[in-house]
Chains A and B, each alone.
Chain A
Amino acid sequence: MDTIGQFEQAVLVALVRLGKEAYGRAILNEVQKRLDREVSAGAVYATLERLEAKGLASSTLAPGTAIRGGRARRYFVPTAAGVRALSDAKSATVRMWRGLARPLKVRT
């Protein structure tokens, strides 16, 4: 079973949410929006490369538009193993929180 870190989860969730529109720029913006903080392009591209190397995501090139100087876009999709890893991560988080009432009370 592949275990994934929090940032890898955020990128994989972005791929699931964006569906057919998941290319670099859209993924970067989606991750920033969901994490509610600025994220560097280098971190996102390095994570996408790692996810591909682990077999959790795959990519294909498609023609670019004029605004990007005709440069190709690389579209990403989560693989079956990626979706499984994401589900496992979610289940682990739910199990970890089971039995705790939110918001947590701080004992002073």
Chain B
Amino acid sequence: MSDTQMDPPRWAHALLKSFVRPSDTESIPGDLLEEYREVKRPLLGRRRADAWYVKQAFSVLWSVVWPCVVAIAVLRILSFPLPRGWNPSLVPAPGASLLDALVFLWAGYYGSQRNGRLSTGIVTATVTSVLGFTTFFIYAAITRPALLLAPFANPFIFVIMTVLLAIAVTFGIVAGMAGAAAGRWFPPSRWRTRLS
């Protein structure tokens, strides 16, 4: 197999491309592809070279989504001690409240106006919803360790958790789409022009 036939995982390549600025869609994937083909693949073999590429793609993703993840994690941690009902929720599930919606809207807006693509905004909001949901369970497991073992005693809890995750992710995608559309078609400069 020649060097130019060695390709990293397609999904990682697509993910990487959706998170770089339009002006970098050639240079950044090209840099990583060059390193992958010239050094990593011959040196590490396919599996480890693929793992290296995926790690780099996620590092680029993280450099975009981290403010949204920090925002949702802080929201989760601050909201736990507050009494129920202060943050109304569409459905009785974590990750579907009014404040969650605002964070997902902002994540979608931020992602799409940063890179000028709807897909970046939607993926940013989706990643934010998944990690926000994870934060909820980490916090719950720390405060009530028995919760960690509960699914093993009653495997149906895994099904419930999957449904709750699906609700949170769907909510993140829908709110993210709205935010991304706003970011794509109404960049900050247009808001400023309208307000002035």
**B residues touching A (Cβ–Cβ < 8 Å)?**
3-4, 20-21, 24, 26-35, 37-38, 55-56, 58-63
Which residue from A42, A43, A49, A68 sits with its C-beta under 8 Å from B34? A68
Minimum Cβ distance to chain B for residue A38 (Å) = 9
Query: What per-residue 1/0 map shows which CB atoms of A17-61 lie under 8 Å from chain B?
Result: 000000111001100000000001111011001000000000001
Q: Which A residues are CB-close (under 8 A) to B55?
A: 40
Q: Is the CB–CB distance between B27 and A40 below 8 Å?
A: no
Q: Assuming the A-B contacts A67-B3, A67-B38, A74-B24, are A43 and B63 also in contact, with contact meaning beta carbons closer than 8 angstroms in the complex?
A: yes
Minimum Cβ distance to chain A for residue B74 (Å) = 21
Q: Which A residues are CB-close (under 8 A) to B28?
A: 24, 41, 45, 74
Q: Is the CB–CB distance between A71 and B59 below 8 Å?
A: no
Query: What per-residue 1/0 map shows which CB atoms of A60-80 lie under 8 Å from chain B?
Result: 010011111101111000000
Number of interface residues of A (CB under 8 A): 23
Give Cα A28–Cα B60 distance, bound, in whole angstroms. 13
Minimum Cβ distance to chain B for residue A31 (Å) = 13
**A residues touching B (Cβ–Cβ < 8 Å)?**
23-25, 28-29, 40-43, 45-46, 49, 61, 64-69, 71-74
Which residue from B3, B20, B30, B33 sits with its C-beta under 8 Å from A72? B30
Which residue from A40, A41, A43, A64 sits with its C-beta under 8 Å from B26? A64
Q: Is the CB–CB distance between A71 and B60 below 8 Å?
A: no
Q: Is the CB–CB distance between A73 and B27 below 8 Å?
A: yes
Q: Is the CB–CB distance between B61 and A69 below 8 Å?
A: no
Q: Is the CB–CB distance between B4 and A41 below 8 Å?
A: no
Q: Which A residues are CB-close (under 8 A) to B33?
A: 67-69, 71
| Minimal Cβ-Cβ distance residue in B for A26 | B31
Which residue from A29, A41, A67 sits with its C-beta under 8 Å from B37? A67
Q: Is the CB–CB distance between B27 and A72 below 8 Å?
A: yes
Minimum Cβ distance to chain A for residue B51 (Å) = 13
Q: Which B residues are CB-close (under 8 A) to A41?
A: 28, 31-32, 56, 59-60
